[in-house]
């Protein structure tokens, strides 16, 4: 079974609920509406009716941990200023499926076209700036960093990868850089040996400092203000906007265009498109776009 499939199944289990009649905590339509509204307001994520069981499964755990009696009490807690539960809520509703070198063609494109172009374009400044927006547990920015370290002369070039996510749990996993050994099965054997240390038990690996030092992990909500000015040469925002509505997507892609250099590249997820969302990018195929 592929890792994407395994992780997909685990995400499904993370959201699985028991049948309505045997549920531990009552959740009314009004409760679900309140939670969907909150999710949309804070994250841009749309929780449609088909996500109701998933929401139940993920939040029932919070309700149990907090010792609350039902979803109504949980919604009240979220509405209480200073309750501190908002991050628990956000971390519960995000879907973090990812893998090393997921959608490998994007990394091939970087190696064969985008990075050689940056070498020429920025030959004077010797700077490379990449943003992994919605980086989850770090597999995407580390795959970017491996590619950058194999193509660029990182001794002479100032190469930086900004890795951001809304979910604080996934960010700490990413910045630790420790993964179960099965997670690197999608990495070529030579790259596994070059860029990862195995621990004594052989069950986990840690990324080597060379690929870690290129990356800064930061918490950032894509629908809020961004503290950085850019410009970026390349942005990866993959499998993130799939959870947003078209208006939120339009605003986000417009802001990506503003913060990219002219001719910069944007890679999005396999089921996402800019078609009829924005005309500020030219489609190069395989979910790769170039800022016009
Ligand atoms: C399915 S993962 C994609 C990970 C990686 N980009 C990939 O394609 O493998 C989506 C990530 O987007 C993050 N996310 C969702 N809404 C966000 C928002 N408003 N701001 C920042 N990150 C967000 C989630 O926390 C989650 O980690």
pLDDT digits (tens, 9 = 90+) for 35-64: 999 999 999 999 999 999 999 999 999 999
- The reply to whether 145 and 73 lie within a common domain is no
Specify whether 89 is located in the same domain as 127: no
Residues 161 and 275 in one domain: yes
Question: Do 77 and 131 belong to one domain?
Answer: no
What tokens appear for 87 in the block? 């991050």
Q: Is the CB–ligand 1 distance for residue 94 below 6 Å?
A: yes
Choice among 7-21, 148-162, 173-187 with the minimum mean pLDDT: 7-21
Nearest atom of ligand 1 to the alpha carbon of 237: 6
Residues known to be catalytic: 58, 165
Ligand 1 atom nearest residue 167's Cα: 25
**Residues 224 and 188 both lie in one domain:** yes
Minimum-distance ligand 1 atom for the alpha carbon of 221: 20
pLDDT digits 0-9 by tens, 265-279:
999 999 999 999 999
Ligand 1 pocket test, candidate residues 40, 140, 162, 165, most atoms within 8 A of CB? 165
Q: How close is the Cα of 220 to the center of ligand 1, in Å?
A: 10
The residue with tokens 């016009």 is 292
Residue 99 belongs to some domain of the structure: no
Helix axes 52-66, 71-79, angle to 10 degrees: 80
Residue 115: CATH number of its domain: 3.40.50.150
Same domain, yes or no: 172 and 67: no
- pLDDT at position 22 is 59
Q: At residue 227, what are phi and psi to the nearest 5 degrees?
A: -75, -20
Same domain, 177 and 56: no
pTM higher than the cut 0.95 = no
Burial zone of 105 (CB within 10 Å; 0-12 exposed, 13-18 middle, 19+ buried) = middle
- Total domains present in the chain: 2
The tens digit of pLDDT for each residue in 159-172 reads 999 999 999 999 99
- pLDDT tens-digit series, residues 102-146: 999 999 999 999 999 999 999 999 999 999 999 999 999 999 999
pLDDT at 148 over 90: yes
Cα 126 to chain centroid distance, Å, stands at 27
| Same-domain check for residues 24 and 113 | no
Range 169-175 contact pairs with CB under 8 angstroms and sequence separation of 24 or more:
169/91, 170/91, 170/94, 170/96, 170/135, 170/136, 170/137, 170/138, 171/135, 171/217, 171/218, 171/219, 173/137, 173/138, 174/135, 174/136, 174/137, 174/138, 174/141, 174/142, 174/217, 175/138, 175/217
In the predicted model, is pLDDT for residue 21 greater than 60?
no
The first and second tokens of residue 292, run together, are 């016009």
Quote the pLDDT of residue 204: 97
Task: Choose one of 59, 93, 127: the last residue of a domain.
Answer: 93
Count of H-run helices and E-run strands, the chain: 12, 10
Phi, psi of 196 (to 5 degrees): -130, 145
- For residue 254, what pLDDT is reported? 98
| Phi, psi of 236, deg, nearest 5 | -105, 120
| Other CB atoms within 10 A of residue 89 CB | 22
Q: What is the pLDDT of residue 23?
A: 83
DSSP alpha helix (H) spans, 168-216: 168-176, 189-195, 209-212
224, part of any domain? yes
Q: Kindly state whether residues 161 and 72 are assigned to the same domain.
A: no
Ranking 14-28, 129-143, 160-174, 215-229 by mean pLDDT, the lowest is: 14-28
**Does residue 175 register a pLDDT over 80?**
yes
Q: Are 175 and 145 in contact (CB under 8 A)?
A: no
- For residue 185, what are the domain limits? 105-291
Last residue within a domain, chosen from 93, 128, 146: 93
Residue 75: which of 45, 42, 32 has the closest Cα? 32
> What's the rounded Cα separation, in Å, for the pair 156 and 184?
29
Q: What is the pLDDT of residue 168?
A: 95
């Amino acid at each position: 079974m592929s890792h994407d499939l395994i992780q997909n199944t685990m995400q499904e289990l993370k959201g699985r609920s028991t049948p309505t009649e045997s549920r531990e905590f009552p959740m009314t339509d009004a409760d679900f509406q309140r939670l969907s509204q909150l999710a949309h307001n804070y994250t841009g994520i749309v929780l449609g009716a088909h996500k109701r069981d998933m929401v139940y499964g993920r939040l029932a755990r919070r309700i149990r941990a907090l010792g609350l009696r039902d979803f109504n009490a949980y919604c009240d807690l979220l509405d209480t200023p200073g309750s501190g539960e908002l991050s628990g809520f956000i971390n519960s509703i995000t879907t973090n499926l990812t893998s090393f070198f997921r959608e490998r063609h994007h990394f091939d494109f970087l190696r064969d076209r985008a990075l050689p172009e940056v070498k020429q374009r920025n030959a004077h400044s010797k700077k490379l700036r990449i943003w992994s927006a919605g980086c989850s547990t770090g597999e995407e920015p580390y795959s970017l960093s491996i590619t950058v370290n194999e193509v660029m002369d990182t001794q002479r070039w100032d190469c930086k990868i900004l890795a951001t996510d809304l979910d604080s749990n996934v960010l700490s996993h990413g910045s630790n850089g420790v993964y179960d050994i099965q997670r690197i099965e999608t990495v070529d054997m030579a790259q596994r040996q070059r860029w990862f240390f195995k621990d004594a038990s052989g069950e986990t690996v840690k990324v080597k400092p060379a690929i870690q030092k290129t990356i800064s992990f930061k918490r950032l909500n894509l629908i809020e203000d961004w503290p950085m000015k850019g410009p970026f040469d390349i942005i990866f925002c993959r499998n993130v906007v799939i959870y947003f509505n078209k208006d939120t997507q339009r605003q986000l892609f417009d802001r990506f265009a503003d913060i990219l250099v002219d001719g910069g590249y944007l890679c999005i997820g396999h089921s996402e498109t800019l078609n009829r969302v924005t005309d500020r990018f030219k489609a190069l195929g395989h979910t790769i776009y170039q800022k016009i």
